[in-house]
């Protein structure tokens, strides 16, 4: 479980009673897509003919542009996660990252799911004695991609949810 029991109003859109603007919601989606895309080769090297994770990342970007609905993006996320379920290791985590990125359209707080699964993918791909340092490098790479407008929100979310996201945000 990577979502807290109680939803943080900072990740609920204004129209649903929270404080998240559409612009920041879109930035969260794009950041999650970047995190997932960064590790996508770990999936594609194992499943080169399965396009579901790549399509999920494309769908969240299309959602940001207003080209598809939230429901379509969420469905693409579900398809990417279905691709993950039959796998193990880095490929599985990379597909889950893509799925989590796509469902940010539906629930903004999934942004950390995409990031956490991407870190898990890198850790799983690394030699045993380099897992932790590989994860820390990926975490730092992700932080370097954060737009200024959402940087503090995401960093605070990482601090708050680190324990339920496998403690991968200790970078």
**Domain region containing 44:** 31-165
Our count of domains for the chain comes to 1
Dihedral of CA atoms 30, 31, 33, 37 in degrees, nearest 10, equals 130
Q: Let me know if residue 12 belongs to a domain.
A: no
Please report whether residue 9 resides in a domain. no
Is 131 inside a domain boundary? yes
In a domain? residue 2: no
pLDDT tens column, 70-95 = 999 999 999 999 999 999 999 999 99
> Residue 7 domain-assigned?
no
**pTM to 2 decimal places:** 0.96
Residue 109 lies in a domain: yes
Write out the H or E segment, with its range, that includes residue 41: helix 22-44
CA distances (Å), origin 128, targets 32, 123, 149 = 26, 8, 36
Question: From the CB of residue 23, how many other CB atoms can be counted at a distance below 10 Å?
Answer: 10
Give the pLDDT confidence of 85-133 residue by residue, as tens digits.
Answer: 999 999 999 999 999 999 999 999 999 999 999 999 999 999 999 999 9
133 domain-assigned: yes
One-character DSSP codes across 80-102: HHHHHHT--HHHHHHHHHHHHHH
1: in domain: no
Q: What is the pLDDT of residues 16-60, one digit of tens each?
A: 999 999 999 999 999 999 999 999 999 999 999 999 999 999 999
């Amino acid at each position: 479980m990577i979502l807290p029991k109680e939803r943080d109003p900072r990740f609920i859109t204004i129209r649903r009673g929270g404080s998240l603007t559409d612009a920041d919601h879109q930035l969260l989606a794009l950041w999650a897509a970047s995190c997932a895309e960064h590790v996508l080769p770990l999936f594609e090297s194992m499943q080169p003919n399965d396009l579901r994770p790549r399509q999920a990342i494309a769908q969240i970007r299309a959602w940001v542009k207003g080209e598809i609905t939230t429901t379509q993006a969420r469905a693409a996320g579900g398809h990417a996660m279905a691709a993950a379920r039959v796998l193990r290791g880095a490929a599985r985590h990379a597909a889950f990252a893509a799925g989590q990125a796509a469902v940010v359209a539906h629930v903004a707080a999934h942004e950390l799911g995409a990031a956490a699964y991407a870190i898990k993918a890198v850790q799983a791909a690394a030699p045993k004695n380099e897992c932790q340092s590989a994860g820390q490098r990926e975490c730092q790479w992700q932080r370097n991609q954060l737009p200024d407008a959402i940087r503090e929100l995401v960093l605070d979310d990482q601090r708050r949810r680190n324990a339920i996201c496998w403690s991968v945000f200790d970078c």
